[in-house]
Amino acid sequence: MAKTAFIFPGQGAQYIGMAQDFYETYEESKEIFDKAKEILNIDIAEICFTENEQLNITEYTQAAILTVCIAILRKVESMGVKADVTAGLSLGEYPALVASKVLTFEDALKVVRQRGILMQEAVPVGLGAMAAVLGLDEKLTSKICEETPGIVTVANYNCPGQIVISGEAKAVEEAGIRIKEAGAKRVLPLNVSGPFHSPMLEGAGKELGKVLDSVTIHRPVIPYVDNTNAQFVTEGEGIKNLLVDQVSSSVMWQQSVEQMIANGVDTFIEIGPGKTLTSFVKKISKECITINIEKISDLEKLQEVPKC
């Protein structure tokens, strides 16, 4: 039986104007932005829709992307389109948790606001770095990271031929040189504020655990696939620990998509800004239907998806 997955993008997908058409057109979408302002006492709509520097600052970015994803999700759900499974890349795991009813939007927003602050403050600016590796085998990339002095590790397994490394700035630079010498097509330094998904953020993960203690984590109504182990999660027990580990662990996105496909998912609907995950899925499997919903005009694509 064919299955549908809702997938949600992570930090880096943001841009000025994202979901503004949903906000201005659909009451269920506007309500999410209004609720975010009420909960955080921050005007997320203003951050998303007007030229500003805050949108690219981690402590605001994460709350903004979560709000946008759920604002669009509410409209998709109102059309009768339902998911059999959810997943998200890094921060995107939180809208997936809302879609799966593990967290309420209110609780998820409180958590990601603190998650953004903790990740922003975990490592002084300049001490950490990240870089994208294009066109080199993942095992060889990982081996080079292990052999490089200092802290450097694989942060993201995105899709075949695209991996991200993260850690101490000098170690990332040195590993990048070695990776290029080993035959990578390109090694691209990323414009990020910290060494996300590296052991340097273990402390931030532990602090996030205290934040998660203040919210209620429910048993998933819809199964989701976890970032850290690419396995289906169907019980509430253990979710907190997975979210704590996620901050400093590798994001197993390629493996997560492969797991969903192996379990019958043939349609992936990316909900939120951009279409990065859609492009990743296409590189992982050319057989699947891939749809991204970031503009009102994209809603027409949902006619291809069976209603439940």
CATH number for the domain harbouring residue 221: 3.40.366.10
User: Is the Cβ–Cβ distance between 296 and 25 less than 8 Å?
Assistant: yes
Q: What is the pLDDT of residues 94-103, one digit of tens each?
A: 999 999 999 9
Residue 289 · residue 4 · CB < 8 Å: no
113 and 27 in a common domain: yes
Contact between 185 and 148 (Cβ < 8 Å): no
Whole-number Å distance between alpha carbons of 139 and 145: 10
Nearest C-alpha neighbor of 5 from the set 162, 222, 158? 222
Question: Which of 172, 192, 212 is the endpoint of a domain?
Answer: 192
pLDDT at 1: 67
> Is 142 in the active site?
no
pTM of the shown model: 0.95
Separation in Å, CA 210 to CA 118, 204, 235:
11, 10, 21
Number of domains in the chain: 2
The position carrying tokens 């379990």 is 263
Residue 23 shares a structural domain with residue 112: yes
**CATH code at 165?**
3.30.70.250
Say which of 90, 100, 248, 250 is annotated catalytic.
90
Low-confidence residues of the chain, pLDDT below 50?
308
State yes or no: is 197 an active-site residue: yes
User: Between the CA atoms of 41, 9, 30 and 37, what dihedral angle is there, to the nearest 10 degrees?
Assistant: 0
Query: Are 300 and 153 within one domain?
Result: no
List, as one string, the DSSP characters of 69-134: HHHHHHHHHHTT---SEEEESGGGHHHHHHHTTSS-HHHHHHHHHHHHHHHHHHS-TTSEEEEEEE
pLDDT for residue 260: 98
Name the catalytic one among 197, 248, 249, 250.
Answer: 197
Domain that holds residue 160: 128-192
Q: What pLDDT was estimated at residue 308? A: 45
pLDDT of residue 70: 98
- Specify the residue for token string 């409180």: 110
